[in-house]
Chains A and B, each alone.
Chain A
Amino acid sequence: MKELGTMLELRNMTKLLGDKLVLRNITLTLEKGEILAVIGPNGAGKSTFFKCTVGLLQPTSGEILLNGKLVKKNSGEVKQRIGFLGHESFLYNTLSPLENLKFYGKLYKVKDLDRKANDLLKEVGLYLFRDMPIRSFSRGMMQRLAIARVLLPDPEILMLDEPHTGLDQEAVALLNKIIKKKQASGTSILIISHDFEQVHALADRVAVLKKGKIISTMALGSDIDLPAMKQWYEKEVSSS
């Protein structure tokens, strides 16, 4: 086995929504410990792409391989291993942070839940507010708790849907720190984002999605700076 095995592999994934072909033949691999960013113009099918991968939507055709194993329809195994951070926080406003984490922890069958939930709350800086209903939380605090929720079951793949939207500088720094830390421990991370700055700061590789197709991918080495990446992106989007 290679040092970096393939974590997730999508083969010819196609999704038909209504009569519209939202995703066409998407083939993409995610290596172990890699951060892959998917960028693209609005309406390119980024969210649908995510939902199909997470298993919220059934792809019309194509295969998803996890750790080299073919994923069956609606299997809990995949969901267990994927941490999905969506647009919304998926949290209950009437519950406190601790209750929210415990609820999801029970569904994910997390062992040693109490300690883990408390540790995570400390990590995202919400330990002080652990018993307050989250209704009054700001967007940034919500997002931090949402991240804690995603990290709770120790997912092997993190899928982050525009994680930086609406966060202040401090929270962005915290989020990036957590992402980097997770990467170092071997977690694969897939990010959808508009935020070129963050993508550039985080990602090892960038894929451009346009009109349901992956039109190009590029490895981000240290030799490529932010303007260069932007230039490349604009060229790719306008050329196809």
Chain B
Amino acid sequence: MKKNSGIIDRLLFFTLVPSFFIALYLVFIWSPVEKFMGAPQKIFYFHVGCAWVAFMAFVIVGYYSVRTLINPNMDHHIKAGISAEIGVIFTTITLVTGMIWGKSSWNTWWTWEPRLATTLILWFIYVAYLFVRKMDGSWEKIAKLSAVFGIIGVINVPIVFMAIRWWNTKLHPVVFGDGKNQQGGGIEPDMLVALLFSIFTITVLYAFLMRKGVEIEKMRHIVKKAKTKAMEKLAG
């Protein structure tokens, strides 16, 4: 079991490193420079990849939350938490790159573009989720409470997206930014290859971080257990 998981880790690591270099090559050298935006458009490859992982991580939080409720189990609880922690990082990257993108293409740091705004709210839900996990009490109780919050949060995300998109189109006509000049309107095949490859790379990165994070968290628990045991022994 232990050996097996080591192999998976190594496999992930050895796919991750070369694909990162390939992704960088594809993005910065191989793919053509976009006509209107120029170089800043390159950020788009990472932006989309991170956004994809951020949303995926949240779905995984929801998945493990449901499993925690059905079968309270330390493993599921840890996985949900680690996925949320990684999710916060990728959501933050998505927001920052989104803002840079916005500044260079629409000359504003922030627009209430539905996807970007949803990502912001997603970030808040993630952080709230981590706050719930930081509550004190037995891990069983926290597992239950955080799982419940995780499920409610996941239900909320599509509604947020719908509401914001609706709000945008009702308020003012779509002038820019609503999908068309990001993905629609025919993306060049070279760009698509680079995009898909960077999404793949970032997903592998997520899987790698997830495994490592879970491992570290489990070690932390083992140490904590050993510590309390030692304390009990010393106290008599």
Contacts and interface: CB of A to CB of B under 8 A. Distances in A.
Interface of A: 17-19
B138 A19 contact: no
A19 B138 CA distance: 10
B30 to A, nearest CB: 51
B103 interface: no
Contacts of A17: 138, 140
Contacts of A18: 138-140
A221 to B, nearest CB: 35
A18 to B, nearest CB: 5
A17 B72 CA distance: 11
A19 B75 CA distance: 12
- Interface size for chain B: under 10, 10 to 19, 20 to 34, or 35 or more residues? under 10
Contacts of B138: 17-18
Chain A at the B interface: SS class: loop
B225 interface: yes
Contacts of B74: 19
Contacts of B140: 17-18
Interface in B69-119: 74
A173 B140 CA distance: 41
Chain B at the A interface: SS class: helix
A17 B142 CA distance: 12
Nearest to A60: B72
7 contacts: A17-B138, A17-B140, A18-B138, A18-B139, A18-B140, A19-B74, A19-B225
A19 B224 CA distance: 11
A41 to B, nearest CB: 12
A204 to B, nearest CB: 34
A19 B226 CA distance: 12
Interface in B137-174: 138-140
Nearest to B139: A18
- Nearest 7 pairs between A and B by C-beta? A18-B138, A18-B139, A18-B140, A17-B138, A17-B140, A19-B225, A19-B74
Contacts of A19: 74, 225
A19 B139 CA distance: 9
A111 B74 CA distance: 46
B88 to A, nearest CB: 26
A87 to B, nearest CB: 17
A18 B139 CA distance: 6
Nearest to A16: B140
A18 B74 CA distance: 8
Interface string B207-223: 00000000000000000
Nearest to A57: B140
Contacts of B139: 18
A19 B204 CA distance: 32
A61 to B, nearest CB: 14
A19 B225 CA distance: 9
B77 to A, nearest CB: 11
A44 to B, nearest CB: 14
A17 B74 CA distance: 11
B78 to A, nearest CB: 13
Nearest to B138: A18
A143 to B, nearest CB: 27
Contacts of B225: 19
Nearest to A58: B72
A117 B140 CA distance: 39
B143 to A, nearest CB: 10
A21 to B, nearest CB: 13
A202 B102 CA distance: 78
A40 B73 CA distance: 30
B4 to A, nearest CB: 24
A17 B139 CA distance: 9
Interface in B160-199: none
A96 to B, nearest CB: 33
Interface string B122-141: 00000000000000001110
Nearest to B221: A19
B51 to A, nearest CB: 36
Nearest to B224: A19
Interface string B55-73: 0000000000000000000
